[in-house]
Amino acid sequence: MSDELNDIALAMVKPGQGILAADESTGTIKKRFDQIGLANEEENRRAYRELLFTADDAMNNYISGVILFDETLRQSTKDGRRFADVISAAGAVPGIKVDKGAKAHAAFPGEKVTEGLDGLRERLQEYHSLGARFAKWRAVIDIADGLPTTGSIAADAHALARYAALCQENGIVPIVEPEVIMDGPNSGHDIQRCYDVTELTLNMVFDELFAQRVSLPGMILKPNMIVPGLNGPQVPAAEIAEMTVACLKATVPPAVPGIAFLSGGQTEEQATENLSLMNAMGGLPWALTFSYGRALQQAALKAWGGKPENVAAGQAAFTHRAKMNGMAASGTWSAANEKMAA
């Protein structure tokens, strides 16, 4: 099983490709649809996901995996093809979000812990039968005065490790996502504070992964980049790239096949530039790629606008962003590339 998991993990971080996070919950997709004045109805959600998954150029050449929401994994294209099959046919790996969200952490004011371990084994078995070959679980770590506490980080690290072990037991590659967020309610911290908290978090997560006997070659890490808070002192992209790579080298074992960054609050181009600069540095023990949601989809959503006649425009915008990030995953992106017609 470990070799099979490693094969899947390597396919998810193949050179020049990355992961599309299309796992927005029904509540989150409503916020996206509100931007374009579109009703949050199942058929609209289905049509939007079909637009993305049938963008052949993007899916065949730049997308190696897609994280789905429960509803989406069960949906099909208008002509009856299951989304999981469409994704697989494009050479990408279908995946599934399995956590139940970050909830208030009892006895830890201002902190959250992600829930969803109860019944997870049975859910993973069903998701595997529906075609999912990887899963995602997100922990949320906020930076504020006196936060995060090591007790709260420990709770999330333990849950991430138990989730990862259950995934591997059921033939599913776990994406382990501990996100130190940049845009929380108190986001005035500097980049060094982000580095320190992320370093502590990743060390605690890998300690728990080891304790829970998780096979590192059969997992993917999905961390934040080392960035200042949204309202903190901003720094050049080169500094973000250097500090992120330094933090990862200090914490992530080389046995992990790949690291797929979340975009977290960054603009589309910022997320692309930072990733490209890291890959251009070279000498990395793991593949560095993307697992973006909004940073891959925002332009497509606006171009589509919920109108059937705009599907091609939406797909073109999505393909452009996927291509830009594919170049970033190879370290070859430049700002001049953004002027290419979407």
pLDDT band of residue 184 (cuts 50, 70, 90) is confident
> Which CATH number covers residue 160?
3.20.20.70
Strands (E) located in 121-253: 134-141, 173-180, 220-221
User: What's the chain's average pLDDT?
Assistant: 97
Q: What is the mean pLDDT of residues 216-243?
A: 97
Say which residues have a Cβ less than 8 Å from residue 341's Cβ, sequence separation at least 6: 320
Pairing mode, strands 102-104 and 112-114 = antiparallel
pLDDT at position 183 is 87
pLDDT at position 266 is 93
Pairing mode, strands 220-221 and 93-97 = unpaired
- Per residue in 302-327, pLDDT (tens digit) is 999 999 999 999 999 999 999 999 99
pLDDT at 342 over 70: no
pLDDT at 340 over 70: no
pLDDT above 70 coverage of the chain, percent = 99
pLDDT at position 297 is 97
Give the phi and the psi of residue 148 in degrees, each rounded to 5.
-85, 160
pLDDT at position 201 is 98
Q: What is the mean pLDDT of residues 100-125?
A: 98
pLDDT at 163 over 50: yes
Structural domain span for residue 160: 2-339
The total domain count for the chain is 1
**For residue 186, with 0-12 CB atoms within 10 Å meaning exposed, 13-18 middle and 19 or more buried, which class applies?**
middle
Residues labelled catalytic: 177, 222
How many helices, marked H, and strands, marked E, lie in the chain? 13, 10
pLDDT at position 95 is 99
